[in-house]
Amino acid sequence: MTIPLVFGHELLGWLPSPIEAISTGLQVFGWCVVTYFVVINTSFLLLVGLAVTELVRHVRRTAFQGHAEAFASPLTPPVSVIMPAYNEAPGIVEAVRAMSSLRYPQYEIIVVDDGSTDRTFQVLSDEFDLIEVPRVIDPRVPTRGRVHSVHAARRGIVPLVVVRKDNGGKADSLNTGVNLARHPLVCMVDADSLLDGDALLYVVQPFVEDPDRVVATGGVVRPANGCRVEDGRVVDVRMPRGWLQPIQVVEYLRSFIVGRSGWSRFGSLLVISGAFGMFRRDVLIEVGGLALDCIGEDAELVVRIHRRLREQRRDYRVVFVPAPVSWTEVPHGPAVLARQRRRWHRGIREILGRHRGMILNPRYGKVGMVTMPWFVLFELVAPFLELMGLGWLLLLVLLRVLRVMGLDVVPVDLTVAWLFLAVAFGYASLLTLTSVAAEEYAFHRYQSWSDLVWASVASVVESFGYRQLTAWWRVQGTVQALRGSRQVWGAMPRTGFSGARIAASAAVAPRGLP
Amino acid sequence: MLGATRLEDVVPDLARLLGDRDLEVRRVAARALGRSGHLAAAEPLLAARTAERLSTRDTADALVLLEPAADRVLVEALRSRDHGLAAMAADVLGLRGAVAAAALLTGHLTDHTSLDVRVHAARALGRLGVPGAVPGLLAVLSPAAPVPLRAAAAKALDEMGAAAAIPGLRVAVYDRSYEVAHTAAYALATLGGSGRACLLGIRGVGLEPAASHAAEALAELDLHVTQTAPVPRALAAAGSR
């Protein structure tokens, strides 16, 4: 009996020699990695297809959206906007002012000061003439930090409530806000974010069109780095310069424009960013609000909503709206970025671990059978395989170099290595470029060709160094989670949005999953 | 644009567009029919809603704009076995100020089999502000009624500002549901001196959480009484000059 040729290497006998075994092993591993990357990128290509369908639909609808009618209609549901704030003194007044000037018929703003140690409360009090009011807080959503006082604004057009409480984290602050909210829809936004003027009208639209089924909607979060801000509005969308920030911009575009739109179109959106998400208050109360002990609390909440409503066999929808944008600053330096990525990956691991019973469970429909397994295979495992693939490639190159030098330790065939490069780098870059093109087609935010060129360059450059670096941080995040290390936030100063153009030097606190 | 002309001739053409296979076309047609304001638009709009070719919201937004004679068609819709349609009709009648529908709405409030219809009827009665609806609303404010209905009734009484509701609202402030108690306290706060006295009494008794709800409503009332309307900066600057 002969064993067939394996990737061009003849078998020397019944059993291969150790060198042959290593060579074959390297080739087999290479093919496995290539196959993995083909599958991951092809799955993303399918998402691109779904996202493009959604975006085309969105572009067609924009002209007929009827926001003026929605604004004037007495049937447009009122909204409670919740802004958790921790040490946000430099930008909180600007953020609240910007939030107060949104185009929406009826809404209130609830700022939850989560035990800030800076002047967050004082600057708010000075600006909006706050007065302490007795408020009975709905106890239905569990919270951790004790509420010290509730204050109402005597100045301003939109009702503003400021809550002072013990530090308990972002999830705890949001839960406190949900308990205080007076309206049926609750919008969660970051205090260091700026919303587009019509953002609430856009993100409420699915609730208005399908009030019985829509339970949550999310909008796009985009980096404001490089953009010009005036009076709390992003007025000139530009690409930041440098290398770290432009890559994050295209990363966000890929994640939101393609990822979220695609999953939403597929009907199993798993993540709504805590930086900009709208929920039905009664559903939040029903599921117990955000988990106080989970790192990726925003994504965990959506997974829990899916779980609960699927278990109750309810007909519901979680929808992503690609148009409204929440602008935020993304990390400027590698240290903050590394913390952010470790945290995000820990969050994914925690969520998938906590809800592992849903994975491949037909009871949970598309969420259990497709989306969650996809997240396990292509989000959780991806950084490990990416780094292993990189290690394998380097080993192959090393062996080739040795062969050129006359030391033929292990014979290698570089065909699969080239394939790996094409699939893992070329295919991935192409997908990111498609995201940029899709965004440009649907929204045309960039006014300058140089910005588009810069975005295209960033889409390609991302694969060379940045992705491997983030893969390494994500692996570290998983290891930290397995070792049970405590999540460290560290001190992160902010610049706020009052500057003419978002500065390119300050470090900004990482937020929830993008 | 066709709708804005308010010509009756355009209604059949627009109504035909409600059958278009494209949702956007149907939505725009509904909006235009609403703007036309003609009674003839009511039937096709309701039919499109029943056939699920239009969302409840789009239909309601259009129906609100129609001429007063459309109330008759909406009252028929309120009698529909389609609970979604009946609930929407209740909402629209309330928004249109269709006082003539108050008796039917009150009947639905207390007797309808669908909780959704009852809740929408309560909201509509609140908007209509008809004093005759107060006994019905007070009846569903009792603990025997489901919480969403009790909360909607308290809210409706708040909007109506009916002094006859004070005894019922006083009891509702002690409701076990946060939402009902909270809304009832705020409703009392809108009822002038008698409501205020009632809240002071509840606060004085000190039974929690009703006393806190009362205290909150009183504080909110004081806040609004003392609050001055914001003066635009330009005007303020002009005044100071």
Nearest-CA distance A153 → chain B (Å) = 9
122-161 of A, contacting B, C-beta below 8 A: 131, 133-136, 138-140, 152, 154-157
Helix (H, G, I), strand (E, B) or coil at A505: coil
Q: Closest partner residue to A209 among B57, B95, B213, by Cβ?
A: B57
Helix (H, G, I), strand (E, B) or coil at B240: helix
Nearest-CA distance B28 → chain A (Å) = 7
Two tokens, residue A113: 């000061």
Q: For tokens 């239909």, name the residue.
A: B59
Q: Which residues of A touch B61 (CB under 8 A)?
A: 69, 73, 75
Two tokens, residue A184: 């049926």
The reported pLDDT for the residue numbered B193 is 84
- Best probe of the A interface among B61, B95, B224, by most A CBs < 10 A, is B61
The reported pLDDT for the residue numbered A120 is 93
Q: Is A106 near chain B, with CB under 8 Å?
A: no
pLDDT of B238 strictly over 70: no
Alpha carbon distance B241, B44 (integer Å): 59
Total beta-carbon pairs less than 8 A apart between chain A and chain B: 57
Contact A154 B226 (CB under 8 A): yes
Which among A200, A102, A100, A196 is positioned nearest to A155, based on CA atoms?
A100
Which among B209, B115, B217, B215 is positioned nearest to B158, based on CA atoms?
B217
Alpha carbon distance B93, B78 (integer Å): 9
Nearest-CA distance B56 → chain A (Å) = 7
The DSSP annotation for B59-82 comes to: HHHHHHTS-GGGHHHHHHHHT-S-
pLDDT of B125 strictly over 90: yes
pLDDT of A400 strictly over 90: no
Helix (H, G, I), strand (E, B) or coil at A231: coil
Contact B59, B30 (CB under 8 A): yes
Q: Closest partner residue to A75 among B57, B178, B226, by Cβ?
A: B57
Contact B212 A136 (CB under 8 A): yes
CA distances from A453 to A163, A243, A269, A463, B32 (A): 45, 13, 31, 17, 43
Contact A156 B230 (CB under 8 A): yes
Alpha carbon distance A242, A454 (integer Å): 10
Q: For the CA atoms of chain B, what is the radius of gyration?
A: 22
Nearest-CA distance B138 → chain A (Å) = 23
Q: Which residues of B touch A212 (CB under 8 A)?
A: 84
The reported pLDDT for the residue numbered A499 is 46
pLDDT of B53 strictly over 90: no
The reported pLDDT for the residue numbered A150 is 93
Contact B23, B51 (CB under 8 A): no
Nearest-CA distance B212 → chain A (Å) = 6
Percent of chain A with pLDDT over 70: 90
Q: For tokens 């959780």, name the residue.
A: A380
Contact B31 A69 (CB under 8 A): yes
Alpha carbon distance A351, A359 (integer Å): 11
Q: What is the pTM of this model?
A: 0.84
Contact A211 B58 (CB under 8 A): no
Q: Which residues of B touch A152 (CB under 8 A)?
A: 220, 223
Torsion of CA B227, B230, B235, B239, to 10 degrees: 20
Contact B61 A73 (CB under 8 A): yes
Helix (H, G, I), strand (E, B) or coil at B131: helix
- pLDDT tens-digit series, residues A46-100: 988 898 888 888 887 776 767 777 787 888 899 999 999 999 888 899 889 989 9
The reported pLDDT for the residue numbered A1 is 41
Q: In terms of CA atoms, which chain A residue is nearest residue B212?
A: A136
DSSP state of A101: T
- pLDDT tens-digit series, residues B181-215: 999 999 998 888 888 899 898 888 877 888 989 99
Contact A139 B178 (CB under 8 A): yes
Q: Which residues of A touch B56 (CB under 8 A)?
A: 211
Two tokens, residue A348: 């994914």
Alpha carbon distance A243, A197 (integer Å): 30
CA distances from A455 to A252, A416, A461, A504 (A): 12, 30, 10, 17
Residues in chain B: 241
Nearest-CA distance B223 → chain A (Å) = 8
The reported pLDDT for the residue numbered A248 is 93
Q: Chain B interface residues facing chain A, Cβ-Cβ under 8 Å? A: 24, 27-28, 31, 55-58, 60-61, 64, 84, 91, 95, 178-179, 182, 209, 212-213, 215-216, 219-220, 223, 226-227, 230
The reported pLDDT for the residue numbered A364 is 94
Two tokens, residue B36: 């036309």
Which among B89, B155, B81 is positioned nearest to B123, based on CA atoms?
B155
Q: Which of A217-221, A260-264, A466-470, B219-223 is predicted least confidently?
A: B219-223
Contact A133 B216 (CB under 8 A): yes
Percent of chain B with pLDDT over 70: 89
The reported pLDDT for the residue numbered A491 is 47
pLDDT of A147 strictly over 90: yes
pLDDT of A403 strictly over 90: no
Q: Which residues of B touch A74 (CB under 8 A)?
A: 64, 95
Q: Which of A227-236, A322-331, B18-27, B228-237 is predicted least confidently?
A: B228-237
Contact B122, B153 (CB under 8 A): yes
Q: Closest partner residue to B55 among A73, A156, A210, by Cβ?
A: A210
Alpha carbon distance B75, B65 (integer Å): 16
Please, what is the average pLDDT of chain A? 85
Contact B57 A154 (CB under 8 A): no
A245-259 burial by CB neighbour count: b if 16+ within 10 A, else e? bbbbbbbbbbbbbbb
Residue A122 is inside which H or E element, if any?
Answer: helix A120-128
Give burial (CB, 10 Å; 0-12/13-18/19+) of B220: middle
CA atoms within 13 A on the CB side of A264: 28
Contact A269, A372 (CB under 8 A): no
Helix (H, G, I), strand (E, B) or coil at B113: coil
Q: Which residues of A touch B213 (CB under 8 A)?
A: 136
